[in-house]
Amino acid sequence: MESTKTDKLLKTEVTLSFIIVNWNTCGLLLECLDSIHSTVTGYQYEIYVIDNGSEDGSAEKVKKRFGGEINLIENSENSGFARANNQALRRAGGKYIVLLNSDTVLMENTIRSIVSFLEKNPSAAMAGPCMKSGDGKIQNSYDNFPSLLTELFNKSILRLFLPNRFAGKTSKASQPFEVDSLIGACIVVRSEAIKDVGLFDEDYFFFLEETDWCLRMRKAGWKIFHHPVAELVHLQGQSKKLRPSLAWIEYYRSLYLFFKKNRSAASYVTLRLFRFIKLIINLLLTIAGLCLTLGTKKRYREKTFVYAHLIWWHLCGCPDNVGLRNK
C-alpha cells in the first residue's frame, strides 16, 4: 500500500510541518513547494508530500528536484485526503502543522502572519488565510457547519439576511475573527490541539473531512479563526476537475456522512430526500437549456452528464464502489 522513500525528522526542534497531499497535479505541486522555500524564512520546518498513486510522474519529479529535502510518502493508490494527511500527521514533529493543497501558492505574509497570531492566542486550535484565485478574486476561505438551514436555502440569501451568523467572503474585517470551520486548502493547526482531538476521520475520503475536524475541535473547547490579512493564491479545485462527476459523488457521500455523524436522524433523511429532488429539478432545467441552445453550450452538456450520473448513483443506492477512490 505505502512505501516511504524519505522519512526522516529533523534533529533540531521543528516549528512547522508542511503536509501536502497530491493526486495528479505535478506542475502545481512543484510550484507549491517552490513557494514554501521562497516565502518561509526564520522557522525550522519540514515538508511531507503524500502522493496518492498519481500517474503523471509527480513522485519522480519531486525526488529529482528536491531530493532528500522532502519527506515523500508514495501510496500505490488514491487513499483519500483524510487518510493521506493522517499518514504524515503521525510523523510530523512541528509545533504547528500547515496543511496545504497542491494547488496553492504561499505569499510572503501567509505563514508568518498566521503563526504569529496563533502564538499570541493559545486557545486557537487553527487559523486559515484569505484565499484568492489567480486573478486576485477573493474565494470562500471559511464556512458554517452544514445544517438543514444551509442545505435547504441559498447561502447567499442567508448571508444577506443573517450576516452575523453567515459571514461571507465579502466581509471587510481587517483582524482575525472566529468562524465555524475553514476551507482545507490551507490550515495552520496547533499540534497540541491535534493531540487533544485526534486525527482526521478516515471515514471521509474527499470533502468535508476538515469540516468534521473543525466541529470536533470546537466541541473540545478550541477556537478556529480566519485571518483576513494573511493571503494565499488558490487555483481552486484542480483535482476535482479531473473527473468532475465522480468528484461530485464523493461530495454527496461526504455530506451525507457528515449529517449521519453529526445531525439528527430526521435531518439526515430530510437532507437526502431534498438533495435527490433538487438533482432531478436541476437535470430537467439543464436539459431545457441544452435544447434551447441546440447542444452547442459545453457547460450544459457537462452539467447534464454530472446530474444524470448523480441521479443514477442515488437510484443504485449510493454504492461505495463508485467514486474517486477506485479510480
| Segment (H or E) for 74 | strand 71-75
The label of the residue with cell 496547533 reads: 190
Domain that holds residue 233: 2-240
Cell numbers of 247, please?
468528484
Q: How many helices (H) and strands (E) does the chain have?
A: 12, 12
Give, for all 327 residues of the chain, the pLDDT tens digit. Answer: 554 444 443 334 889 999 999 999 999 999 999 999 999 999 999 999 999 999 999 999 999 999 889 999 999 999 999 999 999 999 999 999 999 999 999 999 999 999 999 999 999 999 999 999 988 899 999 999 999 999 988 877 888 777 778 777 666 778 999 999 999 999 999 999 999 999 999 999 989 999 999 999 999 999 999 999 999 999 875 556 667 899 999 999 999 999 999 999 999 999 999 999 999 999 999 999 999 999 899 999 999 999 999 999 999 999 998 988 754
Hey, how many other C-beta atoms are within 10 angstroms of the C-beta on 67?
Answer: 10
pLDDT at residue 243, as a whole number: 79
Q: Which of 18, 2, 17 is nearest to 73 (CA)?
A: 2
pLDDT at residue 325, as a whole number: 76
Sign of the Cα torsion 286, 289, 295, 300 reads: negative
Q: Are residue 141 and residue 255 in the same domain, yes or no?
A: no
Can you tell me whether residue 166 is helix, strand or coil? coil
The label of the residue with cell 479563526 reads: 225
Q: What are phi and psi of 29, to 5 degrees?
A: -60, -45
Q: Are residue 147 and residue 14 in the same domain, yes or no?
A: yes
Can you tell me whether residue 16 is helix, strand or coil? strand
Q: Are residue 256 and residue 211 in the same domain, yes or no?
A: no
Q: Which residues contact 173 (CB under 8 A, 6 or more apart)?
A: 226, 228
Q: Are residue 223 and residue 252 in the same domain, yes or no?
A: no
CA–CA separation, 161 and 149 (whole Å): 13
Q: Which among 211, 240, 269 is the end of a domain?
A: 240
Provide the CATH number for the domain around residue 30.
3.90.550.10
pLDDT at residue 242, as a whole number: 65
Cell numbers of 32, please?
507549491
Q: Which residues contact 171 (CB under 8 A, 6 or more apart)?
A: 177, 228
The label of the residue with cell 493522517 reads: 86
Residues 53, 76 contacting (CB under 8 angstroms) = yes
Q: Are residue 227 and residue 277 in the same domain, yes or no?
A: no
**What is the domain count for the chain?**
2
Q: Are residue 7 and residue 151 in the same domain, yes or no?
A: yes
- pTM value? 0.89
